[in-house]
Amino acid sequence: MSKDYYQTLGINKGASKEEIKKAFYKLAHKYHPDKKGGNEGKFKEVNEAYQVLSDDGKRSKYDQFGSGFENMGTNEGAQGGFGGFDFSDFAEGFSAQGESAFGNLNDIFSDFFTGGGRAQARRGRDISTEIQVSFSDSIFGINRKILITKTSNCLTCNGSGAKTGSTMATCKHCNGQGKIHETKRSFLGNISSTKICENCYGTGEVPKEICDKCKGKGVLRREEEISIVIPAGIRDGEMIRMSGMGEAISKGTMGDLYIKINVALHPVFKREGSDLVMNLNLKLSDALLGREFPIQTLDGEIKVIIPEGVGINEILRVRGRGVPMSKSKRGDILIKLNIKLPGKLSRKSREIIEELKEEGI
């Protein structure tokens, strides 16, 4: 079914480009979904109509064939939110005026498409660092302390920015509201925004006398000791997030601290999932006759019995000595047996092997 774009915009078929644009601005303001009482469906219809009628080529094809012209291989529909309208067109004709009666367009749309410029909570910057732990500590976990230089709350005023014993006064910039309301005029009408007061940082109060240490900011750059709990079983390259341990900001919440864990290599063991894997070199005689071997694990020495007649590349499993998976469960140790064959035989060894050969061994 063909759509009547002229009716959608409420204009006559012979309307000029200026009339088309004016009608669109009016309806876009009325139906925009970010506004109270807006209608996303209507906004998309209005936008679609404007996309066609504001383009001479598309409008000519529409007048000849109706809205079905887009299915005739000539569809140039734009991509993007709300039908793909490029809001940079809104600024056409106003760029030369700079801060005109319509206000700064970038500021207007920044406010308009973030819900009318609602005041956002102040938050400190996230920071990151990295530390190295031993292979054993990565398996069993450990508590570590590190020193980081970052912006932190002032210890003298506990982040208030006030001198010790000083009282607080109502902020004169926002009259104690903590927020500043602004209204900007635009072609979409008056757009109101609310911003956090930059004088009191949203608290509505300021100290009568400021802290000498931080100069009233409540924060300053200093070295801070941080305790880190490294969980058992952490892997190389994993990150630990410590919420609220990042940088502080005046009268706001602290950011987060991200710690990358680098696990040192172990001379014997490698990790495969929840198991620890190691290689054990055996002489041929040990493989044939069997032997008891002492193995130094991450949590003490154990005795491993090599059974008689083990095969090349056979794997022995020692249960419950691997990576902790819970308080009561651990992975295993996997021992890969490498049987070393002699490169050169003595006369006696050759005679013994010849005898074994005759016996079918």
204 bridge partner residues: none
Q: Measured in whole angstroms, how far is the alpha carbon of residue 132 from the centre of its chain?
A: 23
The candidate with the shortest Cα–Cα distance to 35, out of 100, 90, 117, is 117
**Residue 329 CA to its chain's centroid (Å):** 32
Task: For residue 323, give the nearest of 235, 228, 229 by alpha carbon.
Answer: 235
The DSSP code for 203 is: S
Q: Which residue has the tokens 């020495």?
A: 301
Phi (first) and psi of residue 55, to 5 degrees: -105, 120
HSE-up (13 A, CA, CB side) for residue 300: 4
Identify the residue whose tokens are 């002699």: 342
Q: Which amino acid is at 300?
A: G
Q: Is 35 helix (H, G, I), strand (E, B) or coil?
A: coil
User: Looking only at Cα atoms, what is the longest distance across the chain?
Assistant: 113
Q: Give the whole-angstrom CA distance, residue 338 versus residue 293.
A: 14
- Which residues belong to the annotated binding site for Zn(2+)? 154, 157, 171, 174, 197, 200, 211, 214
Q: Detail the residues annotated as belonging to a binding site.
A: 154, 157, 171, 174, 197, 200, 211, 214
Measured in whole angstroms, how far is the alpha carbon of residue 311 from the centre of its chain? Answer: 50
Phi, psi of 130 (to 5 degrees): -145, 150
From 184, 194, 19, select the one nearest 102 (Cα to Cα): 184
